């Protein structure tokens, strides 16, 4: 093979099915993905993928290249586990924003005590486990990337809260804006006022601050809102259960740092 990098693009397209999703995972563009796939097709004078509807599927020959790419990446990942240039004890984590605020902020102290030799680097920028951009992810839904170890480790109860001082004269509601694929059922708030939200924002902390000062209601984690005496649950409002999924790549299953974090997660259920 003239360019081993072509295999990475072959593996990404096989796992993500579309040029655009593969490009996003590799932090490039669809044109670049297409060029590398075409390089393989020209090198071997055989089609590597065929398009079925909106998705690309490897041909029989293409699947052979995908398997080579998987095995190569697994071997490299295993070597990097032993000889990584990342400082020992550093764990790179991607967390969805509302889990950062609803889950991690409630467990900082316990986490740092449980894994005292591990430094946690947590980001809300979407990153790929399959391509080694992060070591672990925490998401509300199980990720659908390739060969991952996924485990539901906790849940968070959401309820509708408002400032008690504004009961029963609430004037509107605040909508929590999710990242794509993350959904909270906020139909109760909309139906209650039969009107669009007065404010739509991203971030639990901003929503909490807003209802402390304004006569609006919003969905918040009970664990967060119950810390404030001036807030109360709106009577007869529903409860929403948010899941917390922790994931790592299959090749990192036995990594001592990741294993110690999963062991800690077992203690907080």
- How confident is the model over 130-163, as pLDDT tens digits? 778 899 999 988 887 778 899 999 999 999 999 9
The CATH class for the domain spanning 87-269 reads: alpha beta
What's the pTM value of the predicted model, to 2 decimals?
0.66
pLDDT digits (tens, 9 = 90+) for 48-69: 999 999 899 999 999 999 998 8
Residue 228 pLDDT = 96
d(CA 253, CA 223): 31
Strand partners, 248: 149
Confidence of residue 86 (pLDDT cuts 50, 70, 90): very low
Architecture label for domain 5-83: Orthogonal Bundle (1.10)
Is residue 130 within 8 A of residue 148, CB to CB? The reply is yes
Q: How many CB atoms lie within 10 A of CB 143?
A: 16
Write the CB contacts of 187 (distance below 8 Å, at least 6 apart in sequence).
Answer: none
Domains of the chain: which residue ranges?
5-83, 87-269
**Which of 101-115, 160-174, 203-217, 232-246 is least confident?**
101-115
Residue 85 pLDDT = 43
The rounded percent of the chain whose pLDDT value lies above 90 is: 43
Q: How far apart are the first and last CA of the chain?
A: 49
198-227 as b/e: b if 16+ CB within 10 A: eeeeeebeebbebbeebebbbbbbeebbee
Q: What is the mean pLDDT of the chain?
A: 86
DSSP per-residue string spanning 172-227? EEEEEPPPTT-----HHHHHHHTS--SEEES-HHHHHHHHHHSSEEEEEEHHHHTT
């Amino acid at each position: 093979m003239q360019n081993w990098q072509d295999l990475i693009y072959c593996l990404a397209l096989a796992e993500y099915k579309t040029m655009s999703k593969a490009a996003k995972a590799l932090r490039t563009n669809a044109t670049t993905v297409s060029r590398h796939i075409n390089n393989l097709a020209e090198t071997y004078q055989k089609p590597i993928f065929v398009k079925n509807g909106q998705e690309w599927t490897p041909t029989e020959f293409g699947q052979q290249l995908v398997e080579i790419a998987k095995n190569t990446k697994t071997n490299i990942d295993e070597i990097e586990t032993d000889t990584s240039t990342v400082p020992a004890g550093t764990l790179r984590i991607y967390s969805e924003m509302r889990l950062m605020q609803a889950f991690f902020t409630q467990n900082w102290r316990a986490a740092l005590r449980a894994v005292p030799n591990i430094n946690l680097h947590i980001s809300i920028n979407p990153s790929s486990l399959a391509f080694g951009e992060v070591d672990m992810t925490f998401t509300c839904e199980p990720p659908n990337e390739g060969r991952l170890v996924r485990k539901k480790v906790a849940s968070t109860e959401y309820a509708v809260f408002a400032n008690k001082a504004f009961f029963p004269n609430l004037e509107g509601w605040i909508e929590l804006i999710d990242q794509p694929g993350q959904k909270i059922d906020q139909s109760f708030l909309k139906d209650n006022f039969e009107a669009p939200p007065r404010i739509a924002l991203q971030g639990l902390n901003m929503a909490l601050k807003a209802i402390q000062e304004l006569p609006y209601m919003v969905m918040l984690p009970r664990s967060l809102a119950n810390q404030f005496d001036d807030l109360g649950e709106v009577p007869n409002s529903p409860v929403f259960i948010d899941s917390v999924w922790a994931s790592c790549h299959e090749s990192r299953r036995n990594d001592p740092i990741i294993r110690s974090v999963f062991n800690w997660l077992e203690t907080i259920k």
